[in-house]
Copies of this chain bind each other. A is one copy, B any other.
Amino acid sequence: SFRSYVASVGFVREGRSKYDMRKVIHSIKVGIALVLVSLLYLVDPLYNEVGKNAMWAIMTVVVLFEFFAGATLSKGINRGIGTILGGALGCIAAVLAQQIGGVGNSVLVGISIFIFGAAATYSRLIPSIKIRYDYGSMIFILTFTLVVVSGLRAEQVMDVARQRLATIGMGFGICIFTSLLVFPNWASDELHVSMATKLEHVASSIEGCLEEYFMSGSDKEKQGSNSCKNCKSVLHSKSKDEMLANFARWEPWHGKFGFSYPWNKYLQIGENLRELAVTVVSLRSCLESPRQPTKDLREPMREPCRAVVSTLSWALNELRESIMKMKKFQGGPEVLPKLKAVRVELTLLTAQVGALQKDEELAVVSFV
């Protein structure tokens, strides 16, 4: 199990350096996208075409370019829809207001800004809309207000809106090109790998529990904190998982993930793993409590405990493998009888620790 510890450290370190590499690549990609979009200013023929509106393309690139491809796509689509909707409604409101003319014009513009602004802001506070369309609503408010007030000053609102939309489209195109086609960072890959890492973390901290419990006092504190930290990181992974799944849903077909890939299953697995992590953390605190059986009492439990833990961590690592290779997990029928047999053995040995181990098993049983 020392080997597995080294392996897990290796895995984490490899994961981290990969992640850092990805950060560097992402930064370079943003730099390239910025230079590309600046060409609209730098190259004379292009500038003569788009003029000052090139500003909107630059703004689009800076604001849209996110770390994960899915985030960029979702923001881009939100921005597009928000701009079109806001622009269309803004034009209608501006035209209507112009029909009235005079002071009534300004008053009507003010009222429409208040109503649409407040309504769209309220929609941003509704959780289901907030998760997916928050950015779109903001852009809607922005575009609507800008178009409706420019309607008062500029004669050709439609023309301004069309040009602005075109430059935003250019910015979006550059974002999509650099984000999705050149070394893409898929949120789906991240979510996929994070599940495997979580399984590994839980398995290693179950092993850590066992080793610590049967360890001879002195080295206890060193190792414990590490495996506990891993377990806690699993415990607090909910919001990150949800964010990744949200981005993953926006990402197009690529690699091993097909259309309508069941991202919700990942969230369910994550939920189960967090429950298992709860059990492991509380098992650990039970084992650390001051009222412990003496060493003589512990000794006979060592073998069955080891059997439980090795079966569990074997099962978890198999699950990890099967997730990574995207195969169905076959071990279920093998694991359950083994665990049940050891449970009976443990129950005979001692009531107290057995109760705790059983609980852990239960979680696994419900998990498999």
Per-residue B-contact encoding for A263-303, CB less than 8 Å = 1, 0 else:
00000000000010011011101100101000000000000
Of B27, B58, B141, B363, which one neighbours A142 at CB under 8 angstroms? B58
Shortest distance from the beta carbon of A4 to any chain B beta carbon, whole Å:
25
Contacts of A125 in B (CB 8 A): 23, 26-27, 67
Q: In whole angstroms, what is the CA distance A226 to B138 when docked? A: 35
Residues on B with C-beta less than 8 A from A210 are: none
Nearest opposing residue in chain B for A138, CB measure: B62
A115 neighbours in B (Cβ, 8 Å): 31
The closest CB in chain B to the CB of A288 belongs to B362
Residues in B with CB closer than 8 Å to A152 are 41-42
Does A109 sit at the interface, judged by CB under 8 A?
Answer: yes
Determine the chain B residues whose CB is within 8 A of the CB of A27 once the complex forms.
118-119, 121-122, 125
**Size of interface on A: residues with Cβ below 8 Å to B:** 65
Tell me the A1-43 residues at the B interface (CB within 8 Å): 23-24, 26-28, 30-32, 34-35, 38, 41-42
**C-alpha gap A362/B109 in the complex (Å):** 63
Looking at the assembled complex, report how far the CB atom of A147 sits from the nearest CB atom of chain B, in whole angstroms: 11
Given contacts A125-B26, A235-B235, A289-B362, contact A42 B138 (CB under 8 A): no
When the two chains form their complex, are residues B38 and A145 in contact, meaning their CB atoms are under 8 A apart? yes
Q: Which of A138, A149, A238 has the most CB of B within 10 A?
A: A149
How many whole Å from A154's CB to the nearest CB in chain B? 9
B118 & A31 in contact (Cβ 8 Å cutoff) = yes
Which residues on the B side are within 8 Å of A132 (C-beta)? none
Q: In the complex, which residues of chain B have a beta carbon less than 8 angstroms from the beta carbon of A146?
A: 55, 58-59
Interface residues of A in 115-136 (CB under 8 A from B): 115, 117-119, 121-122, 125
Cβ B114 vs Cβ A149 within 8 A: no
Closest-by-CB residue of B relative to A62 is B142
Extra A-B contacts (14), CB below 8 Å, given A27-B121, A31-B117, A38-B113: A23-B122, A26-B122, A30-B141, A32-B114, A35-B110, A35-B114, A38-B110, A42-B152, A235-B235, A239-B239, A275-B285, A278-B282, A282-B282, A291-B358
Going nearest first, the 9 A-B pairs with the smallest beta carbon separation are: A31-B118, A282-B282, A41-B149, A27-B122, A31-B114, A34-B117, A30-B121, A27-B118, A239-B239
25 sampled A-B residue pairs with Cβ under 8 A:
A24-B122, A27-B119, A27-B122, A28-B118, A30-B121, A30-B141, A34-B113, A38-B145, A42-B106, A42-B152, A55-B146, A62-B141, A63-B142, A235-B235, A236-B236, A236-B238, A239-B239, A278-B281, A281-B282, A285-B363, A286-B355, A286-B359, A289-B359, A291-B358, A351-B351
